[in-house]
Each structure stands twice: as C-alpha cells, then as structure tokens.
C-alpha cells in the first residue's frame, strides 16, 4: 500500500512538472516569439520604437509572460532535482543549478532591459537633451542588450540540457530517445550563444536551429510527461538506488 502511494505520488509529481513546463513554453513562446517577434524590427530603431509605443500594453504583457515563465522555471528546476536525485545526486543538482541560473536568475534580471526599452520612450520632458531619434536609438540599444542577455542565459540552459540528457540516459524515468533530443537542444543553445557572440551574421540560422531542437526535445518531453508521465519500467521499479 505504501509503495503504491509513493509510486502514484511520483507519477503525479512528474505530470505536474510537465504541466508547469508546458506553461513555461507557452509564456516564453508568447513573449519571445510573438511580442518581441512582431514589435521589434531588426536594424530599424524608429519603426521598432513606434511599434512599442503604439502597443505598450502588449509589450508590457510580454514582460509579464516572461517573468511568469521564469518563476515557474525555478519550481521546475527543484522538481527535476527531486525526480532524478535517486539516480545521480551530483548530476541532478548540477543540472538543476544551471537551469536556476539560466532563466530564474539571468533571465529575470535581463527583463530590466526589456522594461527600459519602453521606459525611455515614455519621457516627455521638453528639456530632455536627447532628440527623438537618439531616444529611439537608446531604446533599441536596450532591446539589443536584452537579446544578448538572452544568449548568456541560453549558454547556461544549454549546459543544463546536456546534463539533463545524461540523466535521462542514466535513468529509466523517460525514454532514452529524449536524451538524444536534449543533446540536440543543448547543441542548439550553445551554438546560438557562442556563435552569435563570436561569429555574428548567422543569427537567423542559429535561431532556426534552436527552434527546431527545442521543439523536438523540450516540447516533446513536456507532452510525454503530461500524457504518459513516465516509463513502465520506472513505474514498476521496486527499489530506487540512493
């Protein structure tokens, strides 16, 4: 009876983690893919500023969605540690630590750049020494800083994906195919982060690579966690190694 309760509790915890992960994907996708995707015009500070100022509510909603995603990600990091701790405590805590640093820490602080991009456009001081064009450029620079902050966070998240892939291979919690998919996701995040900093000019290709890798790995595993929970071998496991 005790074993059955513990088993049910573990499966429910995994499904709950998957549900939170799904919310993170939705919120982050809305903020990055939709809000900033339609409002920010590459290399055009004036049009970008006009878009943001004309859609202030949407721009602020994007920040809110990102913040919700990062708060949920902190919970997910702890839950993933609990799930994988019995298989390899060191790897589990390292993996979760990199996830905590990536978005709950770096990503959250980086939202200041998102906020300031709108804040500088709201100034109506007639004695402001900056021209409209200069203010628009300053706003655009905050958006560029936000994008680079995203890349820095992505490097930490890439290491998390790498360690998470190893944990999947070492355990029987999820099918090992997801370990391979998360290796691809890790490569995508790391290539985007280090590639965009050191070899600029290929941002479109690296973003596409990350989008495909993340969709296959993260979204695929999330749906598996919500629908299936875990593997049969994990459900039938009698004694977890300490």
- Does some domain include residue 242? no
Which of 141, 67, 143, 147 shows the shortest CA–CA distance to 103?
67
- Does some domain include residue 51? yes
How far apart (Å, rounded) are the C-alpha atoms in residues 222 and 215?
10
Q: Could you give the C-alpha distances from 140 to 8, 91, 114, 131, in angstroms and in order?
A: 50, 40, 10, 14
Each residue's pLDDT tens digit, 80-116: 999 999 899 999 999 999 999 999 999 999 999 999 9
- Does some domain include residue 41? yes
Indicate the range of 22-26, 122-126, 163-167, 230-234 predicted with least confidence.
122-126
Domain that holds residue 51: 2-235
Total domain count, the chain: 1
Query: Please, is 132 exposed, middle or buried when counting C-beta atoms within 10 Å of its C-beta (0-12, 13-18, 19+)?
Result: exposed
Each residue's pLDDT tens digit, 171-191: 888 999 999 999 999 998 998
- Does some domain include residue 80? yes
How high is the pLDDT of residue 34?
Answer: 94
- Does some domain include residue 240? no
- Does some domain include residue 11? yes
- Does some domain include residue 171? yes
SS3 153: helix
- Does some domain include residue 200? yes
Assign residue 25 a region: left if phi > 0, alpha if psi is -120 to 50, beta otherwise?
Answer: alpha
């Amino acid at each position: 009876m005790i074993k059955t309760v513990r088993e049910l509790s573990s499966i429910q915890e995994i499904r709950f983690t998957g549900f939170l992960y799904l919310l993170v994907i939705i919120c982050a996708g809305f903020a990055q893919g939709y809000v900033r995707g339609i409002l920010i015009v590459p290399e055009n500070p004036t049009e970008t500023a006009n878009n943001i100022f004309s859609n202030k509510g949407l721009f602020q909603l994007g920040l809110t969605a990102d913040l919700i995603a990062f708060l949920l990600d902190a919970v997910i990091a702890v839950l993933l540690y609990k799930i994988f701790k019995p298989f390899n405590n060191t790897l589990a805590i390292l993996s979760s630590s990199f996830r905590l640093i990536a978005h709950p820490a770096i990503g959250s602080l980086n939202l200041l750049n998102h906020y300031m991009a709108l804040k500088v456009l709201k100034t109506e001081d007639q004695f402001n020494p900056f021209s409209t064009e200069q203010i628009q450029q300053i706003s655009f620079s905050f958006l560029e800083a936000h994008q680079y902050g995203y890349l820095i966070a992505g490097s930490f998240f890439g290491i998390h994906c790498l360690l998470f892939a190893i944990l999947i291979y070492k355990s029987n919690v999820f099918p090992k195919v997801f370990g391979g998919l998360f290796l691809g996701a890790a490569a995508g995040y790391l290539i985007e982060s280090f590639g965009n900093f050191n070899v600029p000019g290929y941002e479109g290709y690296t973003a596409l690579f990350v989008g495909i890798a993340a969709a296959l790995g993260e979204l695929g595993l999330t749906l598996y966690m919500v629908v299936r929970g875990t593997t049969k071998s994990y459900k039938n496991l009698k004694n977890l190694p300490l």
